[in-house]
A = this chain, B = another copy of it.
């Protein structure tokens, strides 16, 4: 578990170096906060958790700035439908994804980052662009109930 987080942080560091971005100590710690949480957090949650984890202050303002950086670097996503941030689940793999897709459980609030089939995505994209609209890289956020909560709700 810790290994996974460490290797993600390592990978993030390497990737930033390669592209000339500065993954500073604080930025790295913000990313680590999200990786450790394993779930989406608000900017203010992050600032609070940061203080607890690292006994070091972080204003919400700074959290926002660091999140901006991490999002630009593709290391963090923002869930627009819940105003929360979460670490990209593909940091430690090679997987490149331009259109992240999230399944958000409205019961337990866990978020699963999935990869829809490229075929389906292409069809979706084509269907939209046929109307003359040009998609920017924008994510899908789909709400519902995850398998686990579904099972808990309707036992038997």
Contact = CB atoms under 8 A, between A and B. Distances in A.
Interface string A34-54: 000000000000000000000
A133 B120 contact: no
Interface string A119-156: 01001100110011111101011111111001000000
Contacts of A25: none
Q: Chain copies in the assembly?
A: 2
Contacts of A19: none
A81 interface: yes
B150 A144 contact: no
Nearest to A103: B133
A17 interface: no
A114 interface: yes
A137 to B, nearest CB: 9
A116 interface: yes
Given A81-B80, A128-B103, A142-B128, A134 B150 contact: yes
A112 interface: yes
Given A117-B127, A123-B123, A124-B124, A138 B143 contact: yes
Given A117-B127, A128-B103, A133-B103, A140 B140 contact: yes
Contacts of A146: 132-134
A15 interface: no
Contacts of A133: 103, 105, 112, 142, 144-147
Given A81-B81, A123-B123, A133-B142, 4 more contacts: A80-B141, A128-B142, A134-B147, A135-B143
